[in-house]
Structure 1
């Protein structure tokens, strides 16, 4: 849902429109702009994702200040995990100060005061979930605020959120969007528990979210020909036996999942301009297959046609 595009708003009304849109998507706070009202530029979207939402903002320079007075106002108890798509953010909460840029994630407990600014403007991407749906004690969430980077799950979750937040509008109407939202909440929950170092919850959450984390890991390493059950298990600090057991209980065949995803990736690439120019074997290798003959056989079994026939049947893009 498009909340605001200042190109459609008279210059004199842009600051008020920004305030209203921010309040609709988030929680009460004070907003300071770094340029005259007439020069303010912003685009905000809010996309429901199951039991969570994606809130994206691209704007000229601004600062948000949530004070104790704002906290006392009635508002939903929300936790947000966010990153800067462009520009650099300056964030402070609970005694923690952080420059947010590039691959960094920030964790914001919106039930506590905080300060966030983007002096030169930029793009912010945020995944928001209610405290109740996150199902973690407030003290665990707040302990994790300054320690996200210390978690070995940080980069996995950052990569996943990059896909979710930047493709939210396209994915929100898909039949699987609610399930994707639930899986993303599980990943965020695992990241917070890992960063907080809470021994009471770590083992339980690690076990509960293993298959979700594995699926996210597969998406990010799909084209790596060295991706095997052993490397997947090692990346998640579990035995291969435990990995297979968890996947079996979830109705997931690990090897078939990898092959199915690689085949779908290859099928998509074969119809692109680049895929039309390169050999079938090169496409197979680019999608993680080490044997072109094995790839061709599995492709035919899955889709009832050869890779070459599939490519010829696709209209040029």
Structure 2
């Protein structure tokens, strides 16, 4: 847990300025204004759950504003799904304004102008998700942000954020904290994808996820522990969800990984740069830890042994060194 700010430990004369500055930094707001001259009493907490985080703010009445100019220049690194906790809040994005009683949720997207805050002493908590891990098109997030309550998962996700925040201090220290974070990211993705009622939302979620899978595999192809389980963890989804999405796209994931590794190993064996490296070394560099397994797979795919392929693809030369195995 990180206590970002607790005004109880600050001199009274410094509390207002420190609270305004800290809220501006963590909320993405361009301006932060406290609503009254009452003595400042506030606490801001942040708990890490792997790639995700839970943020809680409790303070005097406050208004946080993101200007149009700042929004246009923004490069969002994360979005926040906030659930209001106490007091009555207001949220405005463009011409759309709403009142948020306790328990209601909103999306804070710093790439759009917004006003958000509450009057009197209040509190809110949010699930903060990196955009790269969310893996959804910005347009989909924007369309869904004004209609989260249309999703059948709305209540479930709100309760999840509330429960996670309530027990965050204990849970973030658990060895399973990253698993909770991955599950939370998947819930956020599903909430946003199902809030759009034209069917395109779900299709975009699935299409984007397949693209992420392909990109992740290509980036980590050389790693011997690359597997459906490691991919699912990295993309914050369950292995079952991963298999379902890949099957729907006609992608046999494990076989595709093997085929890609074989293609790269085959190309490397034919290159002059790899002439001094053994077949076993080339195989290991492309994720095959067992040379016998590599040879069997190579022969099944190409109808010849790796050594036969290498001999046939290398230019004939009397100075070529003998192969080291």
**Which category of TM-score, normalised to the shorter sequence, fits these structures?**
0.5 to 0.7
In structure 1, distance between residues paired with 2:11 and 2:117 = 24
The aligned residue for residue 172 of structure 1 is 172
Call closer, same or farther: CA 1:142–1:204 in 2, change over 3 Å. closer
* Alpha-carbon distance, 1:136 to partner: 0.6
The aligned residue for residue 130 of structure 2 is 130
- Contact 2:135 / 2:208 at 8 angstroms: preserved in 1? no
* Alpha-carbon distance, 1:69 to partner: 3.0
Call closer, same or farther: CA 1:124–1:6 in 2, change over 3 Å. same
* Alpha-carbon distance, 1:49 to partner: 1.6
The aligned residue for residue 2 of structure 1 is 3
Call closer, same or farther: CA 1:74–1:114 in 2, change over 3 Å. closer
- Contact 1:82 / 1:125 at 8 angstroms: preserved in 2? yes
Give the count of matched residue pairs.
214
Gaps of 5+ in 1: 210-244, 251-317
* Alpha-carbon distance, 1:207 to partner: 12
- Structure 1 stretches of at least 4 aligned residues deviating more than 3 Å after TM superposition: 72-76, 203-209
Call closer, same or farther: CA 1:200–1:75 in 2, change over 3 Å. closer
In structure 1, distance between residues paired with 2:43 and 2:16 = 12
In structure 1, distance between residues paired with 2:98 and 2:71 = 21
The aligned residue for residue 155 of structure 2 is 155
Tell me the secondary structure at the aligned position of residue 146 of structure 2: helix
Residues 1:94 and 2:99 aligned together: no
Q: How does 1:98-113 map to 2 (within 5 A)?
A: 98-113=98-113
TM-score (norm 2): 0.60
Call closer, same or farther: CA 1:75–1:45 in 2, change over 3 Å. farther
- Contact 1:48 / 1:172 at 8 angstroms: preserved in 2? yes
The aligned residue for residue 61 of structure 2 is 61
* Alpha-carbon distance, 1:159 to partner: 1.0
- Contact 1:28 / 1:73 at 8 angstroms: preserved in 2? no
* Alpha-carbon distance, 1:137 to partner: 0.6
TM-score (norm 1): 0.61
In structure 1, distance between residues paired with 2:72 and 2:47 = 26
Cα-to-partner distance string for 1:136-165 (whole Å, 9 max, x where unaligned): 111101101111111111011111111112
The aligned residue for residue 291 of structure 1 is none
Q: Let me know the Cα RMSD of the aligned residues.
A: 2.7
